[in-house]
């Protein structure tokens, strides 16, 4: 539109020049001179206006290409990864792999309902724990392997973080005209734009001067600032080592691929690592997975988890329910991987309760071939509580303080066994009230059930 107006003014100048021919030669020279000056002025004003109008778009492209750090905005340059957003490709590998549903059960594990293999003929599964400064923020997961213990698939529930921002901290975003435009977008719209919105605009080209300006001016300046806001949030909430940014629309989750551990360590990449990001009530809940490349089994597991995973807030009642299901299992299942899955899932809701950890370790110790299941539990318990809770004298690993506490408890227990409780004299009297109380307590114990033989029940209330 602006270009058309400039051409209109130039045409008008040409018309004035042609009109000057009606003046005498002496006057015509002055008129032509003024027309030329007017034309030059109009051209200069038009060019100046174009430069002023185009400046935000030039600055925008510079911010994307090189980054920006001034009092109005701080943003890193747009990497190729951050450019190529789009829909998540659900199928990563062609092929079919059948899976019997009877080998799977859904467990409430931390913030998610997820499938877990139970007595699976193909897979083994082992706990994974990443300890944090606060135990309730520790990250829990499971590694699924074949029977040769080669990792096929694994997942871990990462620490949640707030999905929030302070527009007043960035001067550009705090300007009222731009601030109003940003806040007009709902959080779920901003969330979707982080993974899907193409924030690029055409690069300036002299060969397409008019076309470039037209395409630029078709984008409101408020939208340019919103794009920058989306870019800032993209850089803020996504990991630094991101390789791909996508969005899985059926579940409204961000699905990003991150640099795998092997590549970080300079080794050949054998696994794809992804984070599935769930936005719930203003918080981001990451679910991180690793799937073996070139494995139809791993691809089937990735698809299975993505289809079946559902968000479900962690809560203590789920912990109690899972523990009660564990107690109802036959003894032989309690001491194998099935029992571990129930206890591990229950513990994931209340990680500060060490009773779960102790019982999980001590039940697994009674089973066979559970060494790989117990090892991460041993390590976590030893660091956190000063003991690995083992009942095996050859395996137990504890600090001097914990060892002293354990020995004192054992000695006290032994002393109580050896206490001789005095009965009444021949006339039915006791030497003291204390002796009387001890006598009846011992008698009640001897006549009742042997509580030591009963299974210990953890109070999870």
Task: Encode pLDDT of 381-402 as tens digits.
Answer: 998 889 989 988 888 888 877 7
pLDDT for 355 equals: 87
What does the alpha-carbon distance between residue 148 and residue 461 come to, in Å, rounded to a whole number? Answer: 40
| Region 373-386 average pLDDT | 89
- DSSP H/E element including 320: helix 316-327
Q: What pLDDT, on the 0 to 100 scale, is given for residue 294? A: 87
* Residues near 406 by beta carbon (within 8 Å), at least 6 away in sequence: 387, 398
Average pLDDT, the chain: 83
Residues of the chain with pLDDT > 70, as a percent, come to: 78
pLDDT at 344: 93
Work out whether the CA dihedral 98, 102, 105, 106 comes out positive or negative: positive
State yes or no: pLDDT of 459 exceeds 60.
Answer: no
92: pLDDT strictly greater than 70: yes
Pairwise pLDDT comparison (92 vs 316), residue with the higher score: 316
Grade residue 177 by pLDDT with cuts at 50, 70 and 90: very high
Query: Mean pLDDT: which of 36-40, 125-129, 265-269, 277-281 is highest?
Result: 277-281
Which value, to the nearest 10 degrees, does the dihedral of the CA atoms of residues 293, 294, 295, 298 take? Answer: 30
Give the pLDDT score at 449: 46
Question: Per-residue pLDDT averaged across 448-460, rounded?
Answer: 42
Distance CA 78, CA 214 (A): 24
105 contact partners, CB below 8 Å, separation of at least 6: 115, 116, 118
What pLDDT shows up at residue 458? 40
Confidence of residue 211 (pLDDT cuts 50, 70, 90): confident
More confident residue, 148 or 152: 152
Confidence at residue 454, expressed as pLDDT on a 0 to 100 scale: 41
Note the pLDDT of residue 172. 94
Residue 78 has pLDDT above 70, yes or no: yes
Mean pLDDT for 184-211 is: 89
Confidence (pLDDT) at 455: 42
State the Rg of the chain over Cα.
Answer: 36
* Predicted local confidence at residue 289, as pLDDT: 97
Task: Label residue 457 by pLDDT band (50, 70, 90).
Answer: very low
Does residue 55 surpass a pLDDT of 80?
Answer: yes
What percent of the chain has a predicted confidence (pLDDT) above 90? Answer: 45
Is 113 in a helix, a strand, or coil?
Answer: strand
d(CA 113, CA 312): 6
Write down the pLDDT at residue 445. 56
User: The pTM is what?
Assistant: 0.77
Of 13-22, 198-207, 236-245, 367-376, the one with minimum mean pLDDT is 13-22
Cα distance between residue 199 and residue 193, in whole Å: 9
d(CA 329, CA 335) in angstroms, rounded, equals 10
Distance of alpha carbon 386 from alpha carbon 399, whole angstroms: 5
How many alpha carbons fall within 13 Å on the CB side of residue 66? Answer: 8
Name the band, by pLDDT with cuts 50, 70 and 90, for residue 23. Answer: low
**Residue 1 CA to its chain's centroid (Å):** 47
Contacts for 209 with CB less than 8 Å, ≥ 6 apart: none
Residue 405 pLDDT > 70: yes
- Looking at 22-31, 151-160, 278-287, 296-305, which range is the least confident one? 22-31
> Secondary structure of the chain: what % helix, strand, coil (to 5)?
50, 15, 30
What tokens does 337 get? 């991987």
Of 31-40, 94-103, 159-168, 253-262, give the lowest mean pLDDT range: 31-40
pLDDT at 77 over 80: yes
**What residues contact residue 71 under an 8 Å CB cut-off, 6+ apart?**
171
Which residue(s) pair with 156 in the sheet? 141, 288
Give 273's Cβ-side CA count (13 Å radius). 16
> What DSSP line would sit under 139-158, residue for residue?
EEEEEEE-TT--EEEEEEEP
């Amino acid at each position: 539109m602006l270009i058309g107006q400039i051409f209109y003014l130039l045409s008008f100048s040409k018309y004035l020049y042609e009109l000057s021919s009606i003046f005498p030669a002496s006057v015509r020279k002055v008129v032509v001179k003024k027309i030329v000056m007017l034309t030059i002025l109009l051209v200069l004003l038009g060019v100046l206006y174009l430069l002023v109008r185009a400046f935000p778009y030039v600055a925008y492209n510079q911010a994307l290409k090189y980054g920006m750090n001034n009092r109005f905005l701080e943003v890193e340059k747009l990497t190729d990864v951050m450019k190529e957003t789009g829909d998540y490709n659900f199928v990563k590998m062609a092929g079919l792999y059948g899976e019997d549903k009877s080998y799977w059960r859904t467990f409430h594990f931390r913030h998610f309902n997820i499938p877990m293999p139970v007595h699976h003929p193909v897979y083994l599964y082992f706990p994974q724990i990443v300890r944090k400064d606060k135990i309730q923020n520790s990250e829990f997961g499971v590694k699924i392997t074949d029977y040769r213990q080669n990792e096929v698939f694994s997942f871990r529930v990462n620490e949640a973080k707030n999905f929030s921002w302070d527009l007043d901290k960035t001067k550009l975003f705090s300007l009222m005209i731009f601030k109003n435009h940003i806040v007009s977008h709902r959080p779920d719209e901003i969330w979707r734009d982080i993974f899907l919105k193409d924030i690029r605009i055409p690069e300036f080209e002299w060969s397409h001067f008019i076309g470039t300006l037209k395409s630029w001016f078709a984008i409101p300046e408020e939208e340019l600032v919103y794009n920058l806001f989306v870019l800032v949030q993209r850089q803020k909430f996504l990991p630094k080592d991101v390789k791909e940014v996508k969005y899985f629309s059926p579940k409204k989750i961000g699905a990003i691929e991150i640099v795998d551990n092997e590549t970080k360590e300079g080794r050949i990449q054998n696994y794809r690592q992804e984070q599935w990001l769930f936005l719930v009530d203003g918080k981001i809940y990451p679910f991180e997975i690793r799937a073996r490349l070139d494995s139809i089994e791993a691809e089937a597991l990735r698809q299975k988890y993505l289809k079946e995973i559902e968000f479900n807030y962690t809560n203590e009642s789920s912990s109690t329910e899972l523990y009660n299901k564990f107690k109802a299992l036959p003894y032989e299942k309690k001491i194998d991987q099935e029992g571990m899955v129930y206890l591990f899932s229950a513990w994931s809701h209340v990680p500060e309760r060490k009773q779960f950890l102790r019982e999980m370790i001590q039940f697994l110790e009674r089973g066979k071939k559970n060494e790989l299941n117990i090892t991460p539990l041993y390590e976590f318990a030893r660091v956190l509580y000063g003991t690995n809770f083992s009942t095996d004298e050859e395996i137990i690993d504890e600090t001097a303080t914990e060892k002293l506490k354990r020995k004192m408890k054992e000695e006290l227990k032994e002393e109580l066994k050896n206490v001789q409780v005095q009965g009444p004299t021949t006339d039915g009297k006791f030497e003291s009230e204390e002796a009387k109380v001890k006598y009846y307590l011992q008698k009640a114990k001897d006549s009742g059930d042997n509580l030591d033989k009963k299974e210990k029940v953890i109070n999870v209330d």
